[in-house]
Structure 1
């Protein structure tokens, strides 16, 4: 009996030792990421888990003192006791090196003051490069979309990823994968355009760039992307932020989802942000079919989903689809929201809610697992700090600034060039007036720098501003007749006038949740006396060039009718005026193309080139036919002729591909770039079909007299659409392929799909 007892104790002791020695340590670098997450998660209390599901903004008490050392408020210290998923924008208003130093100290504090040493994600955004002080300022996404050059966009976002990481950031609530088609919407320029295919190519490039093609994440050189806003956010009714979103299920699947699907499947985005809005009555932050069914079950997304600002709580007090704040938290959790951005009245309730409903912990574990996995992918457990010497060398490098200029030059769109007004001859003695409300303080200096030692003499005068430039809801200023008269008098004494017109960051911006903040507009005409200024100056008989700067599409009817030349620059980089001057004086030929349709009137909305064919049946009384400028439009100093369009086979099957090709010749006198665009039209469908759809584009450069054959592969996948049964179908029949310089100017041929 005694021997039996000893043997039993030995077996128990051996088993216990075996269990302890086989237990894995989440700090063990030799383990896989999933094994490390599995080892860490069971150690955490419910309160620690929920802390990994929350992000707060650094402005509540994270800042450097006068010597650059970290200072934390009592509120922040309290929040960090259990750890945190992340902090938004730490160090955004200080230079990169000081920010990196502070973020190192902040990360060290976080790691040393939670039980398991879990690091935090520091999160930024990117609309003109990294949204922080001292980084390279690029053009906005809509601007870079006008380049129709995905490779260039990827290089631009590669710089964004590097500069963000060097100042201690890890994730970016960008890029926007929204398709935007309503210029009333104040956030229009944050996205990449109206066309599904163009947006998809640009979003893939942006995500790959900012993440260093995914390989830059664990290497510590890049940051993770959070594609947003899933889904349909750019389609808010009336172009009004926070309004309802009404999209047919077919449009949602065929036109709105593809950029997000590509961000997940092809670019491997680490994060997705849910949309402020609803989808046909179902609030996106409580939409399990969307955030779990589509995103994860259909597309296989493995990253985390973050709420937009305070939007889980808003399921209760704004969307009014939850009975209480706690119900809103449960709705968001069940739908698949892993991280709660900013709110104090949603996921903060989860620890208490678990006591009443223990089953919720399974969903909490699911979300925390995704957050921890992201932190391991980024290498933060093993290498959480930034080398300040690298920050000094890597942010605003010469190559990055050169890239900003290159991006500008490929993004400027020449809308009009009557009688070859452009380019101007910088060797001819000319007095050039730089005038108008969108003139910058350094515009004259940039123009002088661009033309160098020449015979051009510049005079610059802003004249007036468009708004009072104050507060969340800026007010338009009254007409200033003296300022207008001054500009006209300067123009009289000049040979050529360059007018800087359009809109600015006060006339198109995000309309935040507060009622005192507005950013959307009920009209898209240029604000203030800009049309009057154009009429008065063009009446002088001078050559008038308009440089359009804006963050939303404008119905520029007067400008289009009166100006001799129009350069549409959207919102360029910090070197935008210099780049514009280089184009005006012919150093570079413009090659940008319209990423959106430019309508004549707000009354034409909704209006985009790929509408159903039946939408084009009738025009409006007392309004010109069609848009002012079509999607894909953009002139050049070269002259491109399209000939010899053909397809490699007149028939395609569900298992084959064909090639469409065209010969493009530069019959002009200067070397220039051209965007060759391929559109496909389904002639007969079981449901009404788009008039045409962009399915390919390629940017080429040709010397005078040079020709090139440009080829596109047409795949069966390009011809799929959602049929009557709401399933993807591939229908036999006739198709037309159109290849040309815009959605309105092309040559065409036909092919058949046979089954």
Structure 2
């Protein structure tokens, strides 16, 4: 043991010495390079552009951008896809600019590159960190093979309001789960060596608090206490920083009255001084320019504010490029401000190995081999199946039998255009597997499929226009709504079971896709009403990028599967789950409201001084609604399986502990059903008396386990003082002596409990 400790210590010292040597070498290289750079070239490194419109056939970038690259006025590009085009653009910098400083090439690789995986909200419902890391790893391999070296991901904004369209890009409502996912994504993208040609630099976003936009309306104001920031909203960003993320993107919202992009407390005091971040900060799209509308001044003023705050790279707006030189002359900024930002950009390029080889990520052979490869399509199918959440399964109607007649209905049943979901900028939707093909692939010859569209995604022409902003996602049938419903009802009457594929269009979620009404569109509600009246069992498969208000729909359905948007292999994955080739194991990472009036709704709420008693009739002068329960329709952590699991009571290794001790909390989980299956065992903790009011419970651990039918397993969680800490009123991370409750169970609302004391 001693020898292992000595060897381990020696290895750590060796690695530290190697890292220090690498830093010294990098610093020397960049210092020498910067001595050769003009002021214009230094400012040019802070300029991130996209090629823009008006590009002639065969051109990679428009003439204006090309000239800027040659003159050293561009630090990076995004929006260029394909290894040949990226090579041409890199050649402009590497061969025709004065100092031949290579460009960064970035992209919104949000849930896959050209092979598209489930949306991030869906992936978070797998609660499978190794799988989520693999999603990022495969995305990096594919994107880097096509010439890219930087992704604007992961998006780790905590979100408690499903009206906000960008919940689709995040990991839901919980800071602990969100932090684990942030770490997994960064590790998957960046690997262990950023200079490897199959890793890419990650960019955590949107820093900070963007998920708390008021009213769920994108780009809107955010306002909260520092205590809420530190306890609930900041942890996933911090987790990404601790995981070594290379870059950070500023958010559009304000914080304490100052937009994030000009907020020095956020970008310097918190991010760099408190958290020790060493990478660079890039704005979101034109975020510098948009501070003019916030009321902070003209372009020169806001650009200077952003640089002084700690922002290093200006995305698209060119405020830095066009005003910083003047601000320097007028002493509104210093030469040091520009040099620090320039150095951070050059350091990123050095860490990526671009100075050694500007074409490190550019390989036609790798692109041919890796892009849309078979192994990635197979992985996409597996990831999609593992992300789905079974919300209801009356009479064990699922899994379906591979015999008889199925009425397959719904506007998303035979549809390729919406399978990828939002923000799949490089994915080709026409390469998707629609649900009808997936069911045919899995069901076999023993199943007769009667297909009917049943309804348009929506009949609302205004919504159709919004949903088709990036191409046709919603097509309006030439038949009238009643004719579509009649055809579906006729198919249902001739079938043994109805499978209804319903939901949103893919562009109903994502950026600039907030909705005040998050119910199922009326056209589909009318279809489901008609189907439920046939008396046939109805299995609803819901595709969406957010929790919807579906109380009536879940009551009407015999079974309900939340499938989200699953990517290229959606159809096959849905069929795998419906027919039992995979037993669903997903758990919700975001609570489902009963109606929009409950929003924001989340499991880790705080009690009031007049709480509504659990499972009691509504009382006057208590914190409740007159017309609906306080509880969500489906709570955080909820998800069924084709089998069932039972939990024993919690066993504690001790009922008290001191700060230096650890308690072990254990339960025995048994698969009591008829199928092998996976269960996510969840640990929550409640601090019963504290100097700062505490939520009713906080997720502090989880384990995903596989049990064969009839199998039992002990699941244990170590609890140390770290799991008991919180931010007090002085924003200190502390644990206070007193009584604690432990909850372990299958979701945040269905748990066993035990108590212990911290002395």
Kept in 1, the 8 Å contact 2:455–2:523? The answer is no
In structure 2, the residue corresponding to 1:661 is in which secondary structure? strand
Q: CA deviation at 1:473?
A: 6.8
CA distance in 1, matches of 2:356, 2:320: 32
Cα deviation 1:565-587 (Å, max 9, x = unaligned): 00001111211121111111112
Q: CA deviation at 1:649?
A: 2.1
Distance 1:73 1:668, change over 3 A: same
Residue in 2 that maps onto 1:117: 100
Say if 2:683 is the partner of 1:684. no
Kept in 2, the 8 Å contact 1:463–1:486? The answer is no
Q: Select the residue among 575, 588, 591 that pairs with 1:594.
A: 588
Say if 2:29 is the partner of 1:42. no
Say if 2:739 is the partner of 1:724. no
CA distance in 2, matches of 1:522, 1:744: 27
Say if 2:406 is the partner of 1:432. yes
Residue in 2 that maps onto 1:264: 241
Q: Select the residue among 20, 38, 56 that pairs with 2:49.
A: 56
Distance 1:29 1:551, change over 3 A: closer
Cα deviation 1:401-448 (Å, max 9, x = unaligned): 22111111211110001111111111x3x1111111222333211111
Kept in 2, the 8 Å contact 1:448–1:458? The answer is no
Say if 2:709 is the partner of 1:738. no
Deviates more, 1:618-627 or 1:678-687: 618-627
Distance 1:628 1:470, change over 3 A: closer
Q: Select the residue among 599, 603, 610 that pairs with 2:597.
A: 603
Say if 2:387 is the partner of 1:411. yes
Kept in 2, the 8 Å contact 1:50–1:348? The answer is no
Distance 1:624 1:688, change over 3 A: same
Distance 1:405 1:668, change over 3 A: same
Distance 1:203 1:122, change over 3 A: same
Say if 2:89 is the partner of 1:89. no
Distance 1:590 1:524, change over 3 A: same
Kept in 2, the 8 Å contact 1:404–1:575? The answer is yes
Distance 1:82 1:532, change over 3 A: same
Deviates more, 1:340-349 or 1:662-671: 340-349
Gaps of 5+ in 2: 1-20, 416-433, 613-622
Residue in 1 that maps onto 2:287: 311
Deviates more, 1:242-251 or 1:486-495: 486-495
Aligned length: 698
Kept in 2, the 8 Å contact 1:439–1:462? The answer is no
Cα deviation 1:194-245 (Å, max 9, x = unaligned): 1111111111111110112x41x11121110000001100100000112110
Cα deviation 1:75-122 (Å, max 9, x = unaligned): 12221123221001212xxxxxxx112211211121112111100000
In structure 1, the residue corresponding to 2:182 is in which secondary structure? helix
TM-score (norm. length: structure 1): 0.89
Query: Where does 1:273-422 land on structure 2 (aligned, <5 Å)?
Result: 273-315=249-291, 317-321=292-296, 323-357=297-331, 360-385=334-359, 386-422=362-398
Distance 1:737 1:30, change over 3 A: closer
CA distance in 1, matches of 2:747, 2:212: 24
Cα deviation 1:260-285 (Å, max 9, x = unaligned): 111011x2000000110001312111
Kept in 2, the 8 Å contact 1:548–1:570? The answer is yes
Highest Rg: 1 or 2? 1
Kept in 1, the 8 Å contact 2:327–2:333? The answer is no
CA distance in 2, matches of 1:584, 1:420: 12
Kept in 2, the 8 Å contact 1:63–1:90? The answer is no
Say if 2:681 is the partner of 1:702. no
Residue in 2 that maps onto 1:457: 449
CA distance in 1, matches of 2:57, 2:135: 29
Q: Select the residue among 73, 78, 94 that pairs with 2:62.
A: 73
Q: CA deviation at 1:550?
A: 0.4
CA distance in 1, matches of 2:466, 2:33: 44
Residue in 2 that maps onto 1:8: none
Kept in 2, the 8 Å contact 1:60–1:75? The answer is no
CA distance in 1, matches of 2:630, 2:606: 17
Residue in 2 that maps onto 1:527: 521
Say if 2:70 is the partner of 1:104. no
Q: CA deviation at 1:306?
A: 0.4
Distance 1:559 1:396, change over 3 A: same
Kept in 2, the 8 Å contact 1:150–1:202? The answer is yes
In structure 2, the residue corresponding to 1:161 is in which secondary structure? helix
Q: CA deviation at 1:474?
A: 6.2
Distance 1:473 1:543, change over 3 A: closer
CA distance in 2, matches of 1:176, 1:543: 39
Cα deviation 1:328-369 (Å, max 9, x = unaligned): 111000100000000034442112222232852100100010
Residue in 2 that maps onto 1:10: none
Distance 1:240 1:350, change over 3 A: same
Residue in 1 that maps onto 2:509: 508
Gaps of 5+ in 1: 1-27, 92-98, 512-518
Kept in 1, the 8 Å contact 2:435–2:575? The answer is no
Residue in 2 that maps onto 1:7: none
Residue in 2 that maps onto 1:244: 221
Q: Select the residue among 136, 143, 160 that pairs with 2:122.
A: 143
Cα deviation 1:138-166 (Å, max 9, x = unaligned): 00100000100011000111011111111
Q: Select the residue among 177, 182, 191 that pairs with 2:161.
A: 182
TM-score (norm. length: structure 2): 0.89
CA distance in 2, matches of 1:380, 1:114: 15
CA distance in 2, matches of 1:527, 1:631: 24
Kept in 1, the 8 Å contact 2:648–2:669? The answer is yes
In structure 1, the residue corresponding to 2:684 is in which secondary structure? strand
Q: CA deviation at 1:455?
A: 3.6
Distance 1:105 1:64, change over 3 A: farther
Q: CA deviation at 1:553?
A: 1.2
Q: CA deviation at 1:605?
A: 1.3
Say if 2:176 is the partner of 1:193. no
Q: CA deviation at 1:551?
A: 0.9
Q: Select the residue among 554, 567, 571 that pairs with 1:560.
A: 554
CA distance in 2, matches of 1:202, 1:338: 26
CA distance in 2, matches of 1:328, 1:387: 40
Residue in 2 that maps onto 1:714: 719
Residue in 1 that maps onto 2:530: 536
Kept in 1, the 8 Å contact 2:389–2:640? The answer is yes
Kept in 2, the 8 Å contact 1:62–1:76? The answer is no
In structure 2, the residue corresponding to 1:751 is in which secondary structure? strand
Deviates more, 1:148-157 or 1:443-452: 443-452
Distance 1:471 1:457, change over 3 A: closer
Residue in 2 that maps onto 1:486: 487
CA distance in 1, matches of 2:205, 2:548: 25
CA distance in 1, matches of 2:22, 2:235: 37
Q: CA deviation at 1:472?
A: 4.5
CA RMSD, Structure 1 to Structure 2 (Å):
2.1
Distance 1:29 1:253, change over 3 A: closer
Kept in 2, the 8 Å contact 1:594–1:632? The answer is yes
Residue in 2 that maps onto 1:447: 439
Say if 2:134 is the partner of 1:155. yes
Q: Select the residue among 146, 162, 166 that pairs with 1:167.
A: 146
CA distance in 2, matches of 1:474, 1:619: 40
Q: CA deviation at 1:727?
A: 2.3
Residue in 2 that maps onto 1:209: 188
